[in-house]
Structure 1
Amino acid sequence: MQFPESWLREFCNPPLDTADLAELLTMAGLEVEETRPVAPPFSGIVVAEILTAEPHPQADRLRVCSVAVGQGDPLQIVCGAPNARAGLKAPLAMVGAELPPGDDGKPFKIGVGKLRGVESRGMLCSAKELKLSDDHGGLLELAADAPVGADIRDHLKLDDTLFTLKLTPNLAHALSVYGIAREVSALTGAPLKTPAFLPVPPSHDAKLPVRVEAPDLCGRFSGRIVRGVDTQAKTPAWMVDRLARCGQRSVSALVDISNYVMFEYGRPSHIFDLDKIDGELVVRWGRDGEQLELLNGNTVSVDGSVGVIADRARVESLAGIMGGEHTAVSDSTRSVYVEAAFWWPDAVAGRSRRYGFATDAGHRFERGVDPALTVEHIERITALIVEICGTPDTMVGPMDDQILNLPSPQPVTLRVARAVKVIGMPLTQAQCADVFRGLGLACVEGEGTLTVTPPSWRFDLRIEEDLIEEVARIVGYDQLPPTAPVAPVMARAQPERRRSVHAVKHALAARGYQETINFSFVEARWEHELADNPDPIRVLNPIAAPLAVMRSSLLASLVGVLRHNLARRAPRVRVFETGRVFRRDPRARDGAISVAGLVQPRRVAGLAWGPAAALQWGEAERAVDFFDVKGDVEALLAPMRPRFVADTHPALHPGRCAAVKIDGQLIGHVGELHPRWRQAYDLPSAPVLFELDLDTVMARPLPAPQPLPRQPGAVRDIALVVTDGVAHDALIATLADDPLVRQVTLFDIYRPAQPGGGLAAGERSLALRLDLLDPTATLTDERIDAVVTAAVARAAQAHGARLRA
């Protein structure tokens, strides 16, 4: 919410300067995100009138102007603006004036100059040169009644400040200048100027038939006909300036009037071209297959969950969001229908985001707009239309006000003792009552209680805690005393068998990975492609159209991070994330931290792309591969010994993917991104990813002390010839299947370039070391040979292995 300070002070003018006013609003929960001046510093610029504008004798595009400045003789000014003409009033920087600072931060001082041999005693200015806007198409044209010689800052009221408020969704009543003034009055006690909505007397008796078929969509619908309007009338400069300072550009007089009242009182409204309405207006829910061309040029389809305003022929407007192009006012419009309604917040919420845009009207209606003042605000709009767009033929019709289904605010009771306990400072019942009365909340006092019936403009007051919050913020968060905790703070012991998430993150950071944090809601495409999840959990009200489903895997988020980094030319990417994923599971039941039908396990995932090591002299540059990341996973899980078994995963390369198992239980996958997705996501090369169950990773087996062996061990090396299809893990497990074999280690692989040397095509020789130990008796050569012979026999039987001659 952006607005000028001067407009706020017209409703409520407390004895505070700008900085104190901003601090007051922020400490009351209306966070002031930014304050900035309307105009940068400059001086010596006055309102001037061009008396004559003659062509420059030496330049076709320049004019030599005689300019009156309200004192002394006219000044000679050389100007190149295309709109420089006799009779125009524009800003003039006098000799000695200082223009706004440039890129170097220094102001530009005006002196006497010469342009193509003709002296110029000053400079006529554009809005861009004064840094009032980006318009550099010509001189800034001032109103015809602007006083010549007046300081331009005073004339345009440039010594003003723009406030930008960051409002939470519950503060719908502060989405207008008057609403904020009401808050300031309650906070400071300064008088609030209550608007008087004087009715515009009707001059004809025609009404447009309106039928509301959906009271659960529209609770109140008000409107009137105004005939004989001049839609080409120029919007007054004061209204254009105020709209601009609210961040709204001027469109046309009728549109500007509607927008002005919205910023003034928080009431979105709509003005139809009466002659384009076919017979009547019907307020109803949409029907499948209906389409509407909106004012922004988009054509949208509606269904039964979207509210519309239609006539007998077509849909004319999205209820509470945006009007349609067919009944939009234009230069040829002569009669209009002014509408203001109360749309139920639940009937508007999320609809505009469904179509990929947001509007000021939808932003307000989905939070709640006062249903009690539709008629009064139409009177305000009507008065402005008559004032600005009125003609001798202007005729105003009677008000048509249909009340069908308005909110019924329920009384909320505040226990003063409860408020004192929650807020943490002594308060009296009288203080709480003063807070409510200052906010315009009628309250009934009881024995230690205050019962408040929320007014029509407060949709956020529903429970006792809401009232406690009002008391706290009006009294002032800065007034809360620093209070030590009542209960003793005791550290919770971390089980030794379990490490913290923080320790897991440190372990990954030590391996060169950087943490990234992503949304838990992602694009549906990611779930379909990278998680093979055809039915992801959908978000009912997504913050953005693409972020429509809950993720069931962290891998897609990391691929998105990689793309973001590659777009910024990152040469090497190592990222990880910890977080929950969300999956459907019919076995899940409701609980304290669980939801029926859904599971939310925690995962840790990582991604590596680019060189295996940063550029250096000690190691040749090579791309990261499966085995690099496999080593990272092993280090992360140590001292547990995971097994890696060839497997498939929808996101990973079918030949370069392994399941990670601990004690036979699947805990995740590691592998290279599938070539199909590398190409689909426009990656220059495939990253290597892993995703593991976080709870398993956090487990930390305690070391079990073992006595030193009293007997010496023995080592034997063997070379086995096996086919390429024999897996390393399977061979090692077979050889180690003996109580005397303590460990088997592969230390060499031989595969000749050409078949020969006792090896056929598709065979390889594996050199393995067997560590043998019997803790109770000495190993003799006979026992050692028997163990080795048995191990070779097991390998021959299970894998077709043979000793290499």
Structure 2
Amino acid sequence: MQFPESWLRAFCNPPLSTQQIADTLTMGGLEVEELRPVAPPFTRIVVGEIKEAVQHPNADRLRVCQVDVGQGALLNVVCGAPNARPGIRVPTALVGAELPPGEDGQPFVIKLGKLRGVESQGMLCSARELKLSEDHAGLLELEGNPPVGADIREVLRLDDQVFTLKLTPNLAHALSVYGVARELSALTGAPLKEPAFPAVQPTTDAKLKVHVAAPDLCGRFSGRVIRNVNTKAKTPQWMVERLERCGQRSVTALVDISNYVMFEFGRPSHIFDYDRIHGGLDVRWGRQGEQLKLLNGNTIEVDGKVGVIADDREVESLAGIMGGDATAVSDDTRNVYVEAAFWWPEAVQGRSRRFNFSTDAGHRFERGVDPSQTVEHIEYITRLIQEICGGEAGPMDDQVTRLPERKPVQLRVSRAAKVIGMPVSEQQCLDAFARLRLPAQAAGGVITVTPPPYRFDLAIEEDLVEEVTRVVGYGALPTTPPLAPITAKLPPEARRSRFAVRRLLAALGYQETINFSFVEEHWEKELAGNADPIKLLNPIASQMSVMRSSLLGSLLQVLKFNLDRKAERVRVFELGRVFVRDASVQTTDTTVRGVRQPMKIAGLSYGDPDGLQWARKAGQGDFYDLKGDVQALLSPLQAEYVPGAHPAMHPGRCAIIRVDGREVGVLGELHPRWRQKWELPHAPLVFELDLDAVVARRVPQFEPVPRFQPAERDIAVIVNEKVTHDQLLAAIRGADTGGLLRDAFLFDVYKPQQASAGLALHEKSLAVRLTLARSDATLTDEQIEAAVRAVVERVTTEVGARLRG
């Protein structure tokens, strides 16, 4: 909401500077988002009257004007404006004047010069040249015959300031200049000028029949007929000026009057063309299939959840939001019907969004507008119409069906002191409520406040505490250090922090991404295999309709975004929460019934794992490149990789990751079906892990450095080609070596191209190095041979192996 300072001071004029008023309002809860002058600085621009305007001898589009600026002698000014004519008074820049800065930021200085051979002793200005508006159609014609030679800044009151307030939804009572002035008066103690609404005596008996059929839509409906109105009358300059400084352009006199009262007192109203109303008005809920053409040109279809004002033939207006085109006033209008009503906030809230537009009226009604002064405000509108457009007023029609009940709210003074954090007395609270014009009574340390009709935000005790705090002043609150002891919570040594996990993946060349937790529904069904995802009741976009149970879809979207921008290598990860249905979860401070919300970490690798370099040929990474990154992420935990299946991954290139026998994640190459659907040149590699498994780690147990040299022995065994590396090592580690086996690792694999002596085509040779040692003595040859023999016997029994050769 924006308004000029001069309008605010017309109601409340505290002895404060402009900046001090802005600071006071901000500290009182009415945040001043912007404070700017009405016009930029300029100098030596005065009121000039054109005495003569003749055609330029050397130019068709220029005129030579004789201008009186109050200096005795007339100035000779060359002007190209089409409305330059004798008798009008316009802003005139004298020689040496500085106009507002242009696009280059430098002020434009008027100099004595010649245009097409004729001397020009100044410049006649348009509104755009003074940065007052974008109007550049002609000179700015000044109304009211201001004195010739007067400073234009004083004539147009251009030293005024414009306040822009960023109001929270509970401050509906401050959505007007008078409402802000009322708050400023309470905060500063300056007197508030009370408006008067003298009744207009009716001079005709014209009355429109109105029926309020929906009390849950409209609690009060007031209106009157005004006949013989001159709709072509011109809006006074003072009203145009105030409206423009509120960000509202002038339209017609009747529309301007309605907007003016809305900005001044927060009262939206509507003016109908009385002669275009068929029969009477019916205030009711809409009906399925009814259509309405609005003032903005849109044609909408209403239903039973939208309030309307209809006549005997059709819908005429969208209740509390916007009028209809059928009864809009025009230059041909002679008789009007002025309406002001109280619409229940619940009946207006959200209706504008259904039709993809918003209005100032709807913005106010859905927050709450004072229902007690509809008649007074119509009297004020009537008086303005008669002063500007003339007309004969009919009797007032005021129908009250059901008004909001303002229930008393109690404040415990002791509770207020505890919440505010400083001692406050009962009298301080009463004084604060008196300044805010809130009726209050005290008894036994409890103050009972009856909210006035315009305060829809006072419902509970904390609302009153806030009012007391605003008036006392946030700056008066003491700075009190916390009394509770603060003890640092040390993380367990067996658990890594999430930041350590992020740093580890960053060190491996991955970049972190942050994505929305709501995703497209087909991602869940196709990539996560989730047939019943958690759906949002009110998604922010149609493609974000469900909660994710996997991070893979988000990473693929990031990959696609980067590939579309010619990226050749993408390595990204995300650490985030997923959402899975689980009937065993109950509602707590951190959980929602029926929804499990574990943290997961997922990564994606696409392109050359090492990037462009001289030591290795460029190529796509494979399963084992990503497996190495996952092993580094889980280290020092030893993971087991078991062939498995996942909806998002290649059937033959997918592994289930297990730690200590528990399934913790999945790793593999994207399924060709999804690669084709996402139009990816190559298949990316992806992994997804439970974060709990990644952050867990074993606490190191230190052992002394061995004093005796270990022994190493290599064995080569022939096994069936279906025997895996894990099966072989499990058999070796299960051998009874008397505790001598320290390590075993595979270092060679041989598969024959054709059958040979001792090795069939369905067999392979695996070479394993065994490390044997004791901590208390050097091993003897007999101990080493016994240990090796035990290993060979074990692998023979477990996996059917035999020594090669």
- TM-score by length of structure 2 reads 0.85
Distance in 2 between residues matched to 1:654 and 1:120, nearest whole Å: 86
Match of 1:716 in 2: 714
Match of 1:132 in 2: 132
Find out whether 1:499 has 2:503 as its counterpart: no
- Range that drifts further, 249-258 or 154-163: 249-258
Which secondary structure does the structure 1 equivalent of 2:129 belong to? Answer: coil
Contact 1:356/1:545 (8 A) holds in 2: no
Match of 1:58 in 2: 58
Report the alpha carbon displacement of residue 185 of structure 1 after superposing the two structures with TM.
0.6
Distance in 1 between residues matched to 2:417 and 2:732, nearest whole Å: 74
Report the alpha carbon displacement of residue 88 of structure 1 after superposing the two structures with TM.
4.1
Percentage of pairs with the same residue: 62
Contact 2:744/2:771 (8 A) holds in 1: no
Give a deviation string over 1:498-530, Cα, whole Å, max 9, x none: 333444444444445555555555677876776
Distance in 1 between residues matched to 2:763 and 2:258, nearest whole Å: 83
Distance in 1 between residues matched to 2:61 and 2:660, nearest whole Å: 86
Distance in 2 between residues matched to 1:316 and 1:686, nearest whole Å: 60
Give a deviation string over 1:517-573, Cα, whole Å, max 9, x none: 555556778767766767665656667787666555555556666788789998876
Find out whether 1:471 has 2:468 as its counterpart: yes
Match of 2:171 in 1: 171
Give a deviation string over 1:102-157, Cα, whole Å, max 9, x none: 34433221111222222211122233322223333433343363443222211222
CA shift in 2, pair 1:149/1:763, >3 Å: farther
Find out whether 1:488 has 2:485 as its counterpart: yes
Match of 1:349 in 2: 349
1:716 maps to amino acid: D
Where do residues 189-228 of structure 1 align in structure 2 (5 Å cutoff)? 189-228=189-228
Match of 2:405 in 1: 408
Report the alpha carbon displacement of residue 184 of structure 1 after superposing the two structures with TM.
0.8
Match of 1:84 in 2: 84
Find out whether 1:436 has 2:440 as its counterpart: no
Give a deviation string over 1:375-414, Cα, whole Å, max 9, x none: 22233333333333x24xx333333323223222222221
Contact 1:735/1:792 (8 A) holds in 2: no
Report the alpha carbon displacement of residue 593 of structure 1 after superposing the two structures with TM.
3.0
Give a deviation string over 1:462-490, Cα, whole Å, max 9, x none: 22122112212221111111111122222
Report the alpha carbon displacement of residue 422 of structure 1 after superposing the two structures with TM.
1.9
CA shift in 2, pair 1:251/1:622, >3 Å: farther
Give a deviation string over 1:569-624, Cα, whole Å, max 9, x none: 98876665544444544443233333333333334455667775677777776677
Match of 1:455 in 2: 452
Contact 1:50/1:87 (8 A) holds in 2: yes
Distance in 1 between residues matched to 2:275 and 2:510, nearest whole Å: 66
- Range that drifts further, 254-263 or 570-579: 570-579
CA shift in 2, pair 1:107/1:424, >3 Å: same
Which secondary structure does the structure 1 equivalent of 2:361 belong to? Answer: helix
2:464 maps to amino acid: L
Contact 1:735/1:794 (8 A) holds in 2: no
1:266 maps to amino acid: G
1:414 maps to amino acid: L
Which secondary structure does the structure 1 equivalent of 2:62 belong to? Answer: strand
Distance in 1 between residues matched to 2:196 and 2:47, nearest whole Å: 35
Distance in 1 between residues matched to 2:49 and 2:21, nearest whole Å: 39
Match of 2:143 in 1: 143
Distance in 1 between residues matched to 2:360 and 2:436, nearest whole Å: 25
Report the alpha carbon displacement of residue 283 of structure 1 after superposing the two structures with TM.
3.3
- Range that drifts further, 140-149 or 237-246: 140-149
What is the RMSD of the two structures over their aligned residues, measured on CA atoms? 4.3
Match of 1:639 in 2: 636
Match of 2:270 in 1: 270
Find out whether 1:108 has 2:108 as its counterpart: yes
- Range that drifts further, 713-722 or 420-429: 713-722
Unaligned segments of structure 1, at least 5 residues? none
Contact 1:203/1:395 (8 A) holds in 2: yes
Which secondary structure does the structure 1 equivalent of 2:240 belong to? Answer: helix
1:16 maps to amino acid: L
Which secondary structure does the structure 1 equivalent of 2:249 belong to? Answer: coil
Match of 1:239 in 2: 239
Distance in 2 between residues matched to 1:308 and 1:685, nearest whole Å: 58
CA shift in 2, pair 1:259/1:116, >3 Å: same
Distance in 2 between residues matched to 1:294 and 1:686, nearest whole Å: 53
Which secondary structure does the structure 1 equivalent of 2:29 belong to? Answer: coil
Match of 1:25 in 2: 25
- Range that drifts further, 260-269 or 300-309: 300-309
Contact 1:581/1:601 (8 A) holds in 2: yes
Contact 1:316/1:327 (8 A) holds in 2: yes
Report the alpha carbon displacement of residue 735 of structure 1 after superposing the two structures with TM.
7.7
Where do residues 716-755 of structure 1 align in structure 2 (5 Å cutoff)? 716=714
- TM-score by length of structure 1 reads 0.85
1:322 maps to amino acid: M
Where do residues 244-263 of structure 1 align in structure 2 (5 Å cutoff)? 244-263=244-263
CA shift in 2, pair 1:508/1:475, >3 Å: farther
Match of 1:417 in 2: 414
Match of 2:38 in 1: 38
1:438 maps to amino acid: R
Find out whether 1:784 has 2:782 as its counterpart: no
Give a deviation string over 1:201-256, Cα, whole Å, max 9, x none: 33333443333333333322333333433444433333333222222333333333
Distance in 2 between residues matched to 1:720 and 1:255, nearest whole Å: 96
2:41 maps to amino acid: P
Report the alpha carbon displacement of residue 101 of structure 1 after superposing the two structures with TM.
2.2
Report the alpha carbon displacement of residue 641 of structure 1 after superposing the two structures with TM.
3.8
1:490 maps to amino acid: T
Distance in 1 between residues matched to 2:652 and 2:326, nearest whole Å: 59
1:482 maps to amino acid: T
Which secondary structure does the structure 2 equivalent of 1:78 belong to? Answer: strand
CA shift in 2, pair 1:14/1:62, >3 Å: same
1:428 maps to amino acid: S
CA shift in 2, pair 1:509/1:318, >3 Å: farther
- Range that drifts further, 427-436 or 627-636: 627-636
1:703 maps to amino acid: P
CA shift in 2, pair 1:686/1:295, >3 Å: farther
CA shift in 2, pair 1:71/1:562, >3 Å: farther
Distance in 1 between residues matched to 2:704 and 2:219, nearest whole Å: 82
CA shift in 2, pair 1:525/1:174, >3 Å: farther
Contact 1:721/1:803 (8 A) holds in 2: no
Match of 2:587 in 1: 590
Give a deviation string over 1:29-75, Cα, whole Å, max 9, x none: 22222212221111111222333433333333333333332332332
Report the alpha carbon displacement of residue 439 of structure 1 after superposing the two structures with TM.
0.9
Match of 2:323 in 1: 323
CA shift in 2, pair 1:460/1:715, >3 Å: farther
Report the alpha carbon displacement of residue 166 of structure 1 after superposing the two structures with TM.
2.0
CA shift in 2, pair 1:612/1:487, >3 Å: same
Distance in 2 between residues matched to 1:655 and 1:290, nearest whole Å: 60
Distance in 2 between residues matched to 1:766 and 1:53, nearest whole Å: 109
Report the alpha carbon displacement of residue 443 of structure 1 after superposing the two structures with TM.
0.7
Give a deviation string over 1:269-297, Cα, whole Å, max 9, x none: 33334444443433333444444444334
Which secondary structure does the structure 2 equivalent of 1:242 belong to? Answer: helix
Distance in 2 between residues matched to 1:370 and 1:503, nearest whole Å: 57
CA shift in 2, pair 1:638/1:426, >3 Å: same
Q: How many residues align?
A: 794
Please tell me whether Structure 1 or Structure 2 has the larger radius of gyration of its CA atoms: 2
